[in-house]
Amino acid sequence: MEIALVRDLLDKQLVDREGELLGRIDGIVMSYSADAPPQITHFELGAQTLARRLPSPFRRVLAWLAHRFSPRGSQPYRIEVSRIIHLGRTIKIDIDGTRSAARETERWVRDHIIGRIPGS
């Protein structure tokens, strides 16, 4: 099956096993060696990955912000390509979203900010 990385994978929406939104593919990790075709090994998500895609002056500012305020610290979250269930308009991944590290920031905001406001 033919894939174009930019058109079909990069920046596309990920969903988990249940079809719930899991974030977007912010980066794609390729394993390169000189004498074999490169292989795509992981999808990468997270503020650090996004920060690196910006041109130089913005990159450092955002990388610092991401490092400072991200609950996961500076580590981007990686998903192995073997976990793909389906490639389509969205990309379905064999992951339990409720426990996934991809949703860590969401859970943090829920527990520390939104959850503290009555009626949530």
Partner 1 sequence: MTTRSINVELLLDREVRDSSGRRAGRIEEIRARRDGESIVVESYHLGPEALLERLAAPVLRLPLFRALGHHKHVPGRRAQWDQMDLSDPHKPVLRCPVEELPKLVR
Partner 2 sequence: MKKILEITLGIVTSIGGFLEVGSLATAAQAGAAFGFQLIWAILLGTICLIFLVEMSGRLAAVSKQTLAGAMRDRFGYPFFLVPLVTMSLLGVLVLASELGGLSLALQLVTGVAFPWWAPLGAFAAWLLLWKGTFSVIEKGASLLGLITVVFVVAAFRLHPDWARAAAGSFPSMPRHEPMRYWFIAVSIMGASIAPYLLYFYSAGAVEDRWNETDVPVNRITATFGMSFGGALSVAVLIVAALVFVPRGIRIERFDQIALMLTPIMGRWGFVLFAGALGIACFGAMLEIALSVAYLTAQGFGWQWSEDARPRDVARFSLVYTITLVAGALIVVIGVDPLAITLMSMALTSALLPIAIVPFLILMNDRHFVGQHGNGWISNTVVCAIVGLAFVLAVVSIPLELLGS
Give the CA-trace dihedral at 19, 20, 24, 27, to 10 degrees.
-70
Q: Which does 56 bind (CB under 5 to 8 A by kind): partner 1, partner 2, none?
A: none
Nearer to partner 2, 16 or 34 (CB): 16
21 binds, among partner 2, partner 1, none (CB under 5 to 8 A by kind): partner 2
CA-based max dimension of the chain: 60
Interface with partner 2, residue 21, by CB under 8 A: yes
Task: Decide whether 6 or 117 has the Cβ nearer to partner 1.
Answer: 6
Rounded to a whole number of angstroms, the minimum distance from the CB of residue 3 to partner 2 is 14
Task: Specify the residue, 38 or 73, whose C-beta has the smaller distance to partner 1.
Answer: 38
Residues 33-72 that bind partner 1 (CB under 8 A): 33-35, 37-41, 44, 49, 52-53
Is residue 85 within 8 Å of residue 93, measured between CB atoms?
A: yes
- Single out the residue of 30, 61, 85, 109 in contact with partner 2 (rule: CB under 8 A): 109
Half-sphere exposure of 48 (CA within 13 A, CB side): 14
Positions 38 through 97 that interact with partner 2 (CB under 8 A) = 50, 53-55, 89
Instruction: For residue 14, give every residue at least 6 positions away whose Cβ sits within 8 Å of its Cβ, in sequence order, or none.
Output: 21, 22, 23, 24, 25, 43, 45, 79, 90, 91, 92, 93, 102
